[in-house]
């Protein structure tokens, strides 16, 4: 749909002064001369549609409350064909950031932009790209990324992405970057307190003098604290280059607010506190630093966030969907609505959801569960069938949940017997999400879902006698960490809709797990019905440490079943990651591999019931994923880099570990999707 100039002005007038409309191209008449030091966080663009995009920079001033910059948008990098010029206000109130909506642009078009202050001090030049029209059937390309801890790592993955994109054919270049969150980690380490962690050097990011502390992690409690973290992260040169090259379509995960936080409750390292004002502060800083079309409660102005006033009070009442029924909580979580959908050409509807602001209380952490079994004797594992009872709450078994939970000799009252089923989306967002799925007309309906949706299972029932202090008295274990890998009830509701409404081309892209996964969206796994309705992917972290790195640092004397996770192959400097095999093929395969290092013999012992939903898992991979969509297939390429400890000295971002492509032909409704795999370079280890 084409927005007329008058429509655009009506929309943009409501957004305050920060809009620009294109006119006849003419050479730049500004006094711009590049002075990047005045723009320490670089430039960015966000949420393009076919005719408009939001441009961003930060230009701090020492005095005054408000200043005006000029923004220019051009069809060429030399700014000889400037098509739009407008005022861009910056103010202390928004931490000297600005957002300008530029309209009247051509679809699927590359533009360049730059900011200039009254003295001619100019930002670097940014590049952005508008979306294709809804009926544009040409293939589209985007990347999805997550988890960029620059306190503990470097962004060689972005360096690699830029290097390859600059050399790609125009039709293969990325149109946008979908950032699935952990853009920042609010828990900040100070190098002098903690010079290293795992393999990592701790780099200086920010100081939070009025924040909270848990162990050696400092976290913000107000907007200035969050702003300090964004500024620290955006000092990273590779992140700045990435933001200057592509528009970002971003969504937060947990760490943009709080490590273990949910709704407006702040929680880091176990101790929780009412955090209504902290959630609002987190939303404000996110809105200020990541240009997007997310709706804020104060209205559509792009100038300032205007946070609602809230008080930090404990939530004592929950509604029938687990939403904290407390006015300050509701005001805080509604201060910025992150969920939104994004049409991109004929082939993509990207439907983006928020996994943290509306989720119900954790159903798996009731204290009474500690009395059910001596979990330490079972390697901390918990049986999947009991977890499914807890997830479903009062809805289990058609509304007849068991009164008791039993495990071996243990018995406890079912702590979730009267609780609503677990929801990650919350009722309102879920209704919106399902509506988007039903309405979508694009070939591919991609769920931009920060949290992984593929089950992480283990089969301790197949361990030889004597490996655990006591024999395991149950079936499979689900080791997914509180995401859709163990949100069976809600997942089924969504997947059943996909099946029943005969939706085809359904795919999930996720982050959060700090690992690469490829497989199928299915409500259940054996002994339940395996019924894939879509494909599902998790991208590795850009830099944040993953499970395998942590496990490599676990002392051997405190690691009783180490072969199921790591094994030292003779002649190899680093251990092999048998955990990938444990999750994909089962414990028998890993134990065989640990003995013989014979991949074929190990795979021959694969437990076919364990993971029919998985085609690939690398629990230690870093990097990014590229997606290419057309009318016939979805091609998802995992680009994996070595552990990003130090910044690469070479322009390509350093070597690759591997590049693997997962392709799915568009399937007919009712048919199961099928992924085929091709390792294009490198060694994928035990991931397949």
- Interface residues with Fe ion (CB under 5 A) are 147, 182, 544
Q: Are 416 and 389 in contact (CB under 8 A)?
A: yes
**Burial class (CB within 10 angstroms; exposed 0-12, middle 13-18, buried 19+) of 3:** middle
Nearer to Fe ion, 274 or 511 (CB): 511
Q: How far is the CB of 481 from Fe ion (least distance, A)?
A: 11
**Nearer CB in complex with Fe ion: 255/279:** 255
Torsion angles phi and psi, residue 626, rounded to 5: -115, 135
* 600 contacts: CB under 8 Å, gap ≥ 6: none
Nearer to Fe ion, 147 or 392 (CB): 147
Return the beta strands (E) in 534-605 as ranges: 534-538
**CB-facing half-sphere around the CA of 90: CA atoms within 13 A:** 26
| Rounded Cα–Cα distance for residues 500 and 493 (Å) | 10
| Contact indicator for 151, 202 with CB cutoff of 8 Å | yes
CB of 148 to Fe ion, least distance (A): 8
Cα three-residue angle 115-121-123, rounded to 5 degrees = 40
> 252 vs 476, which CB is nearer to Fe ion?
252
Of 182 and 490, which has the nearer Cβ to Fe ion? 182
Give least dist CB 256 to Fe ion, A.
10
Minimum distance between the CB of residue 511 and Fe ion, rounded to whole angstroms? Answer: 7
Would you say 332 or 547 has its CB closer to Fe ion?
547
Does residue 115 sit in helix, strand or coil?
strand
Q: How far is the CB of 341 from Fe ion (least distance, A)?
A: 24
Q: What does the alpha-carbon distance between residue 654 and residue 659 come to, in Å, rounded to a whole number?
A: 14
In the block, tokens 């797990």 appear at 513
Q: Is 156 in a helix, a strand, or coil?
A: helix
Q: Rounded to an integer, what distance in angstroms lies between the CA atom of residue 158 and that of residue 148?
A: 10
Give the nearest distance from C-beta 535 to Fe ion in angstroms. 22
Structure tokens at 107: 């679809």
CB of 614 to Fe ion, least distance (A): 21
Q: Strand pairing of 658-665 and 675-682? A: antiparallel
Cβ neighbors of 73 (< 8 A, separation 6 or more) are 20, 22, 55, 82, 83, 84, 85, 102, 105, 111, 112, 113
- CA dist 305 and 299 (Å) reads 9
Choose between 285 and 525: whose C-beta lies nearer to Fe ion: 285
d(CA 244, CA 342): 21
Sign, CA dihedral 557-558-560-564, equals: negative
Q: Which two tokens stand for residue 64?
A: 């005054």
Nearer to Fe ion, 341 or 544 (CB): 544
| Residue closer to Fe ion, measured from CB, 147 or 591 | 147
CB nearer to Fe ion: pick between 217 and 407: 217
The SS3 of residue 33 is strand
Length of the chain: 688
Beta carbon of residue 149, minimum distance to Fe ion (angstroms, whole number): 7
Residue given tokens 């920010």 in the structure block: 206
By three-state DSSP, how is residue 344 classified? Answer: strand
If the CB atoms of residues 303 and 456 are measured against Fe ion, the closer one turns out to be 456
| Least Cβ distance, residue 673 to Fe ion (angstroms) | 27
Question: Least distance in Å: CB of 182 to Fe ion?
Answer: 4
CB of 266 to Fe ion, least distance (A): 17
CB count, 10 Å around CB of 120?
12
Closest contact distance (angstroms) between CB of 642 and Fe ion is 19
Q: How far is the CB of 154 from Fe ion (least distance, A)?
A: 15
620 and 546 Cβ atoms separated by less than 8 Å: yes
* 369, two tokens: 């569960």
Q: Which is nearer to Fe ion, 267 or 663 (CB)?
A: 267
Residue number, 290 or 664, with CB nearest to Fe ion: 290
Contact 59, 145 (CB under 8 A): no
- Using CA atoms, how far apart are residues 639 and 681, in angstroms rounded to an integer? 10
Token pair for 582: 């444990």
CB of 146 to Fe ion, least distance (A): 6
User: Of 67 and 146, which has the nearer Cβ to Fe ion?
Assistant: 146
């Amino acid at each position: 749909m084409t927005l007329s100039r008058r429509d655009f002005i009506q929309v943009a007038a409501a957004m305050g002064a920060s809009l620009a409309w294109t006119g006849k191209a003419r050479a730049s008449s500004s006094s711009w001369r590049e002075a990047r030091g005045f723009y320490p966080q670089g430039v960015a663009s966000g949420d393009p549609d076919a005719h408009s995009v939001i441009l961003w920079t930060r230009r701090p001033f020492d005095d005054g409350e408000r200043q005006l910059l000029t923004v220019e948008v051009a069809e060429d990098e030399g700014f000889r064909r400037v098509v739009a010029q407008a005022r861009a206000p910056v103010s202390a109130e928004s931490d000297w950031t600005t957002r300008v909506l530029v309209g009247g642009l051509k679809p699927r078009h590359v533009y360049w932009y730059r900011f200039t202050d009254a003295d001619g001090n100019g930002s670097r030049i940014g590049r952005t790209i508008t979306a294709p029209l809804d009926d544009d059937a040409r293939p589209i390309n985007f990347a999805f990324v997550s988890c960029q801890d620059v306190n503990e790592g470097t962004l060689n993955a972005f360096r690699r992405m830029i290097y390859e994109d600059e050399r790609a054919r125009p039709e293969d270049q990325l149109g946008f970057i979908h950032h699935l969150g952990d853009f920042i980690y609010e828990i900040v380490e100070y190098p002098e307190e903690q010079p290293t962690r795992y393999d990592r050097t701790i780099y200086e990011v920010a100081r939070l003098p009025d924040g909270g502390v848990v162990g050696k992690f400092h976290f913000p409690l107000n907007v200035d604290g969050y702003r300090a973290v964004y500024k620290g992260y955006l000092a990273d040169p590779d992140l700045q280059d990435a933001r200057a090259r592509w528009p970002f379509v971003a969504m937060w995960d947990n760490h943009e607010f709080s490590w273990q936080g949910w709704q407006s409750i702040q929680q880091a390292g176990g101790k929780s506190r009412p955090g209504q004002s902290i959630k609002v502060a987190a939303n404000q800083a996110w809105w200020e630093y990541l240009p997007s079309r997310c709706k804020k409660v104060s209205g559509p102005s792009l100038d300032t966030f205007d946070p609602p006033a809230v008080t930090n009070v404990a939530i004592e009442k929950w509604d029938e969907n687990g939403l904290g029924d407390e006015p300050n909580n509701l005001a805080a979580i509604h201060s910025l609505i992150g969920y939104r959908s994004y049409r991109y050409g004929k082939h993509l509807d990207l439907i983006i959801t928020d996994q943290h602001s509306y989720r119900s209380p954790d159903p798996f952490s009731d204290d009474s569960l500690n009395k059910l079994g001596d979990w330490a004797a079972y390697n901390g594992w918990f049986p999947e069938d009991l977890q499914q009872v807890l997830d479903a709450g009062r809805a289990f078994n058609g509304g007849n949940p068991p009164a008791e939970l039993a495990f071996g000799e243990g018995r406890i009252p079912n702590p979730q017997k009267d609780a609503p089923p677990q929801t990650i989306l919350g009722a309102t967002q879920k209704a919106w999400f399902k509506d988007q799925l039903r309405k979508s007309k694009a070939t591919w309906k991609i769920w931009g879902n920060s949290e992984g949706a593929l089950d992480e299972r283990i089969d301790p029932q197949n361990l030889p006698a004597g490996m655990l202090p006591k024999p395991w008295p149950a079936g499979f274990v689900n080791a997914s960490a509180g995401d859709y890998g163990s949100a069976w009830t809600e997942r089924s509701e969504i997947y059943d809709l996909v099946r029943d409404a005969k939706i085809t081309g359904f795919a999930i892209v996720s982050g959060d797990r700090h690992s690469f996964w490829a497989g199928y969206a299915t409500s259940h796994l054996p002994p339940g019905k395996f019924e894939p309705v879509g494909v599902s992917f998790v991208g590795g972290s850009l830099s944040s440490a993953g499970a395998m790195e942590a496990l490599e640092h676990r002392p051997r004397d405190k690691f009783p079943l180490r072969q199921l996770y790591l094994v030292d192959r003779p002649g190899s400097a680093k251990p092999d990651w048998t955990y990938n095999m444990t999750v994909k093929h089962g414990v028998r395969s890993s134990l065989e591999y640990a003995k013989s290092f014979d991949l074929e013999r190990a795979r021959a012992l694969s437990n076919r019931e364990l993971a029919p939903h998985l085609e690939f898992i690398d629990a230690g991979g870093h990097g990014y994923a590229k997606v290419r969509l057309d009318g016939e297939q979805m091609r998802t390429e995992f680009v994996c880099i070595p552990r990003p400890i130090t910044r690469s000295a070479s322009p390509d971002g350093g070597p690759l570990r591997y590049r693997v492509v997962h392709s799915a032909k568009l399937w007919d409704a009712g048919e199961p999707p099928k992924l085929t795999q091709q390792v294009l370079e490198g060694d994928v280890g035990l991931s397949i």
